[in-house]
Structure 1
Amino acid sequence: MNVYVIAEAGVNHNGDINLAKKLIDVAKEAGADAIKFQTFISEKVVSRHAPKAEYQNKNTSTKESQLEMVKKLELSFDKFVELSEYCRKKDIEFLSTAFDFDSIDFLNSLEMKRWKIPSGDITNLPYLIKIAKLGKPVILSTGMSTMEDIRAAVSILKENGSGEITVLHCTTEYPTPYDDVNLKAMNTIQIEFDVPVGYSDHTLGIEVPIAAVAMGATVIEKHFTLDRNMEGPDHKASLEPNELKAMVNAIRNVEVAIGSGEKKPAESEKKNMAIARKSIIAKRNISKGERFTEENLTVKRPGNGISPMKWFEVIGRVALRDFEEDELIEI
């Protein structure tokens, strides 16, 4: 199965549908399988008393509240209809994370193929039940979570009719320090819950998601932007278009390179076996009737003669003809 790559546009459109369409173009050009946005009614998600995260304060005006910041990044449902149709036209899967019940109902009307549950809602029981009852495949992010949190969420989803559940390892910090990534936790999740796993990445660069693919990730999610210097909470920890394309290309190369696991000569290397391997060869001139010994035999390239693995089967035999120095031995 190919790795499913989600290009996470999130709110990096800054509330501008034209920028959102450019992000769709970039995701398609990069070779991503899907582009994902965030759909919400600000007042139903953030209270007016909610503080901003540290990284949000760094990347936006410190004078505004979280609600004021989020309100500027909100797109209307009509705009998402337009974006969904644009994705269909561009032949890339449209995804969006719903952050409130009205947004869930709206996105369900767009007939999304699967649902992405954000890390912040892994402990939101009513939300989990509502998503599960849609009966579609679910991708569950697990930033800030313990194994107990994941166990409870997966159980709730299963009990309420969810489709296939893929669990993404994730660290909710923007950008994520490398020593907080803990990629091995992805494998722990896979073993514990026997589900497909993946990785939602917030590190700088592309090394970590590529490593996650090598470790068995079936889904990779990565934030991207048109320009990291734009104002907004997520731009600084996002890939620019050329980096997104490089990441997708590297993932495609790695998923092919992982192979079947069966150890055998590859078709491309078989032609080199006779050149790179060695054969039993006359160390000096050998006369007919002379016994082969360690003094008159040696091992050299090419490898199209008797294998050195048969060394002791040859030692002690009698030469059936004359051999010149460096000639392949025959018995």
Structure 2
Amino acid sequence: MASVNVTGDDANLRITIIGAGTIGLSLAALHLTYLKTPSNLTIVDVRPDLESHILRSLPAFLPQSLHPCVPQVKLASSVPAAVKDSGIVQECGPENLAFKSALWSEVEEHAPPDALFWTSTSGIPASRQNAHMRDPSRLIVVHPFNPPHILPLLEIVPSPQTSQSVIDRTVEFLRRRGREPVLLQKEITGFVAGRLAWVLLREAIHLVDQGIVTVEQLDTILETSMGPRWAYAGPFKSFHAGGGPGGLEGLLKNVGPTVQACWDDAGQVNIGGAWEAKVFGQVREAYGALDLEERDVANRRVLEVVQEVKKDTGSSVD
């Protein structure tokens, strides 16, 4: 029986990825980077062209040296067969509660009793997904930020029923994989990274819809201001530094009326609203099909530079 050894060598560990979409493939690439035996990774998906899809798509997420590993990855269309020897089952399926709750009941029936169950959902809490499980303490959210084979954040979101052992084993395992697991203190829809990103997108849509900026102009503003700043430090640290000797408190005392006016005037937009034609049209015209390889190279280099700077200055990398 496979087991997750979080304190020693797990050369025999078997991992199953459920779902061969973008996130599933990116996480598969992350695991392949560390697995000593590529055949210990199984990808399960019901798509009829799974083999050709994996052979065509997965290498794009991997360095050239790991391309020979791709044909060795096991493929399955049946969940029971895919999870029966797995130490980790990582679900990357549709954002559909009915699908996920039914899936975990099936996984629980066929996976080893000590296997870790991770859901990579973007916003459905584990406490809703585990409703039909015999042992709901086994399930935990491991929410990546796209693309997870490059970006180190993984939001770890237990349900009130999740056991401490599952939390500890998950966090320790991911740290050993060079990730940055952040344990949230309680469940919330969308978690933290998603909520911050969607709020920023909402205001960006509002500003474009009001004719204040174009899509390209707004992206330029972010890319040449907050983007570089936030690559090094988040909003609290950044604004604390911007406040001089008074820090964040001093900054808000100085510009508080403007800040409050912006908060009061925040844009309200709804999915399906009239803004969609304008914004989607500008995005298509400005960017078309993006070069994801360029994105990945840029993300890697930014992370490398930030880590180098923090190491040279002795600053915490947490």
- The structure with more helix, counted as a fraction of residues: 2
Q: What interval of TM-score do these two structures reach, taking the shorter chain for normalisation?
A: under 0.3
TM-score (norm 2): 0.28
